Amino acid sequence: MSSILRTKKIALVDCNSFYVSCERLFNPKIRRKPVVVLSNNDGCIISRSNEAKALGIKMGEPYFKEKDIIIKNKVEVFSSNYSLYGDLSRRVMRTLKRFNTKIEVYSIDESFIDLAGLPFHLRNHMQSLRQKVKSWTGVPVCVGIGSTKVLAKLANRIAKKYTKFDGVFDIDELPYERYCKLLQSVEVGDLWGIGRQSARKLNHININSSYDFYQADIGIIETLLGVNGKKVYQELRGNSCVPIESIPPTRQQIVSSRSFGADLKDFDELNQALTNLARKAINKLNDHKLATTTITVFIYTNPHKKNKPCIHLSKTVGMTTAIQDESQIIPLISKILKLIYKPGYLFYKGGIVLSNLVKNYPQQDLFLTNKDNQKKIDSANKSNAIRSVNKRFNESLKYASEVGNDKWKPRADFRSNRYTTSWTELLVI
């Protein structure tokens, strides 16, 4: 893209097959073997090693559909281990922040870095970063460099695909003709910012490749995809429209949901499952110093079971005062569940949504007496104390609604040890 002047530089650092890399870090015997990691409840394949990809194992496919290939080729299988993955992700991000403070953590395994003001020879600079991350955390990464986020994302794709670039690729160094050829080889749905629905709209008017998108009329793109589509279009042309957000935006909502390990029929079993999910959501709420004014509870039956009724039950409750105290939220969720629960059905998934979130600034209510205000403060202090104990001692304090047969807990038949977050599961040599 030598015909366009580039002044701004952005890098996308992406961990290679992150979940697989985490498993291999503590199990050297599987480093050259085909490996897959499964989603919650051992449902779908969410991470594959290059060896597994070469066998034709597809991303997102249900485990049972790929089981024959997996058994035949002796593929190593792991249940998702988010305690381990989350901790290693934090270590990777801390390493990146030591390199550059202007960083946007985009996902558990991706970060954008603002390279403005760095010296020339960026590829050498990024190679040094790769080596530091690998040395300090054990996790391999690839780096894509471009003048926009979309271009950096595209560059990272190339860095991963072609070994000749040694894990670092600067897309702005491509001559214009080769850049156009690259865009021809990338489906429009693979562009960062273009989802499945948008891709279908574009395909409908014969915009199939990224090059088709690049060559299209901006008016048509804006009409079809709105402002976001226009931003992707401009970014593909080297015009930065999506800045690095080093300070994460305030969350709009917190969702905590899961498929249950077994279908749940009894109210108490459902209440136990939702209480556990609520606790996770409340922990996130408090970690971000937020409070909620709206709570949604939902449960539904399995839509894939033939000759079985499919129902989706939900209810949303709004409050005049924002709350963040688990002693208020958890009993309220139980009450909402009672309102929507229908006996006789087998529920396979449920969850809660905390929305209309606001910053939680502790303050006294002018319309309450001093005594009532003190009760409010005491309740919050009690909840904080419970959270502290549970963080330290692995959820040892529970509400009555959390006690039960744990039938709801998801399957994790292939989970490895939580090597970095559990004293009882430390690696022993």
Angle among Cα 225, 227, 231 to the nearest 5 degrees reads: 100
**pLDDT above 70 (res 78):** yes
Q: What is the pLDDT of residue 3?
A: 38
In whole angstroms, give the CA distance from residue 259 to residue 274: 11
**Sign of the torsion angle spanned by Cα atoms 97, 46, 162, 154:** negative
pTM: 0.78
For 43, the token pair is 């449902």
Domains and CATH numbers, the chain: 10-15+86-236 (3.30.70.270), 18-84 (3.40.1170.60), 253-402 (3.30.1490.100)
Of 133-142, 193-202, 228-237, 404-413, the one with minimum mean pLDDT is 404-413
Q: What is the pLDDT of residues 381-393, one digit of tens each?
A: 555 555 555 555 4
User: For residues 14 and 2, what is the distance between their CA atoms, to the nearest angstrom?
Assistant: 26
Task: Encode pLDDT of 210-260 as tens digits.
Answer: 999 999 999 999 999 999 999 999 999 999 998 888 777 777 899 999 888
- Highest mean predicted confidence (pLDDT) among 157-171, 390-404, 412-426: 157-171
Query: Tell me: the pLDDT tens digits for 254-293?
Result: 999 988 888 999 999 999 999 999 999 999 999 888 999 9
DSSP code for 366: T
Residue 34 has pLDDT above 90, yes or no: yes
**Tens digit of each residue's pLDDT (9 = 90 or more) over 191-212:** 999 989 999 999 999 999 999 9
Model confidence at 375: pLDDT above 80: no
Render pLDDT for 340-359 as a digit per residue (tens, 0 to 9). Answer: 999 999 999 999 999 999 98
d(CA 44, CA 67): 11
Q: Using the predicted structure, report yes or no on whether residue 131 has a pLDDT greater than 50.
A: yes
* Phi and psi angles of residue 392, each rounded to the nearest 5 degrees, phi first: -80, -35
Tens digits of residue pLDDT in 315-343: 999 998 899 888 899 999 999 999 999 99
Binned at pLDDT 50, 70 and 90, residue 66 comes out as very high
